[in-house]
Structure 1
């Protein structure tokens, strides 16, 4: 195997787009808290630690899933022979070590969040992925915690950062449930026991709607406690409308529903950025 093929294989293991996106979300958490530019070294360390941690988690999950991927995803690095299982394991370990070293330069709360996340990333495939709803909860927590980690890296997380974490986790959990409804036939044929298979598709979609409604209820908190101004409300209201529409649309078309849930969360994230950048009274 030539060096270029091997390097491409290791790069593909990281799912770089996903890892970098998570790093951006960590920066948003630091920015919303107001410390991204006041504590640039800490913010940078948190962003890079997030990228390394997510890349490591993606790599270790490919290591554990290599037999399933040989059937379902033969183009991934391990099934196609670009990376050996031992190579993937060592590569993941190196990335985890880098993430830990960077995280240890941060305040205690950020270190605690990083350690919990690293354990969750490693344990996801072996312990939680096969349990109905448990894997969804882990993914939702990890998605929301990027904001919380960024905030904790530069300051004590305020109401805006905490609500951003909650909104991200709830909307991600709703989207994960809808995605499982979308994939129910394939998952059933592979013997997986996802939430829709365990409790039914309609009940799962009703649960997703409930999650979105809870997100709507907590969303005004940053404005009510004067953490963010009117500019936040101006942008977050349409974001919430998209989330509500998406959850109900999922009953007719889960594929479109989960796509709209993603768009709604992106707009909601923008609302927090605008609320910090344009603090209208």
Structure 2
């Protein structure tokens, strides 16, 4: 295996698209909290720490999942031999260390969130992933807390609290659908995920019910937060429609359903940016 192939394998371990998507979340949290312009260094630090932590978490997840990935994802770097298990573990630890170095420069609340999340990322695959619903809930918390982390980095988590709750609900929905997609490999590995514990169709009904709660609660930022304009509702409406369709689609095609749900989640995140930006005073 050449150095170039190993380098590409290490990059793939981080799942760059997921890293970029995750890095946007603390930026949105800071933006909603009104700190992007006033405290750009803290925002940049929070974004970089998130990127490193997520990349490290994905790498260590592949390290622990290397056997199950031989069934579910044989083209990933470790199963195909691009990166050794030991190399993946060392790479993950370096990224975690860099994330910690950045996080300690942030306010105490942000540092506390970072500490909890780093522990959760390490423990997820080995401890929580195989527990029905628990691993899904942990991932949902991690995604939602990224918004809180960005807001805490600039000093005020309150404006991002509703965003945290809504994103956690939609992420939990997607994680359950993903487990339905991965039932074959998870059963082979002996994991007891929610679809295995209660059945695939029942798990999809649980996911759909959660999404319905999130859809019903989606107007809350406009209702509860003074800094959100009607533009939020204009954008979040199509996002909810896409996610509801994705939940329906998952009953016949879980792979397509969870993919479309991701698009709906990105559109919902955009709604928070548009809603907050539209409510900002214009200075001429």
- Per the TM alignment, residue 186 of structure 1 is displaced from its structure 2 partner at its CA by 4.2
Partners in 1 of 2:82 and 2:196 — Cα distance? Answer: 35
Partners in 2 of 1:186 and 1:79 — Cα distance? Answer: 14
Structure-2 residue corresponding to 1:132:
132
- Which sits farther off after the overlay, 5-14 or 74-83? 74-83
Structure-2 residue corresponding to 1:213:
212
* 2:262 is the alignment partner of 1:265: no
- Per the TM alignment, residue 274 of structure 1 is displaced from its structure 2 partner at its CA by 0.5
Matches within 5 A, 1:56-95: 56-95=56-95
Partners in 2 of 1:248 and 1:204 — Cα distance? Answer: 13
CA offset digits 1:158-207 (Å, max 9, x no partner): 33x21211111111111111222233344334433221111122321221
Matches within 5 A, 1:42-191: 42-159=42-159, 161-191=160-190
What is the TM-score of this pair, normalised by structure 1? 0.91
Structure-2 residue corresponding to 1:41:
41
Verify the 8 A CA contact 1:231 1:280 in the aligned structure 2: no
- Per the TM alignment, residue 112 of structure 1 is displaced from its structure 2 partner at its CA by 1.0
Partners in 1 of 2:244 and 2:74 — Cα distance? Answer: 37
- Which sits farther off after the overlay, 259-268 or 68-77? 68-77
Structure-1 residue corresponding to 2:197:
198
- Which sits farther off after the overlay, 15-24 or 60-69? 60-69
- Per the TM alignment, residue 278 of structure 1 is displaced from its structure 2 partner at its CA by 1.1
Verify the 8 A CA contact 1:187 1:193 in the aligned structure 2: yes
Q: 1:248 to 1:16 in 2, by over 3 A?
A: closer
Q: CA RMSD in A?
A: 2.1
Verify the 8 A CA contact 2:68 2:189 in the aligned structure 1: no
Q: 1:111 to 1:193 in 2, by over 3 A?
A: same
Verify the 8 A CA contact 2:32 2:151 in the aligned structure 1: yes
What is the TM-score of this pair, normalised by structure 2? 0.90
- Per the TM alignment, residue 83 of structure 1 is displaced from its structure 2 partner at its CA by 2.7
Q: Which runs of 5+ in 1 are unaligned?
A: none
Verify the 8 A CA contact 2:72 2:182 in the aligned structure 1: no
Partners in 1 of 2:257 and 2:83 — Cα distance? Answer: 36
CA offset digits 1:80-106 (Å, max 9, x no partner): 333333322222111111101101111
- Which sits farther off after the overlay, 140-149 or 43-52? 140-149
Indicate the SS of the match to 2:79: coil
Indicate the SS of the match to 2:260: helix
Partners in 1 of 2:279 and 2:12 — Cα distance? Answer: 41
Verify the 8 A CA contact 1:163 1:219 in the aligned structure 2: no
Structure-2 residue corresponding to 1:275:
275
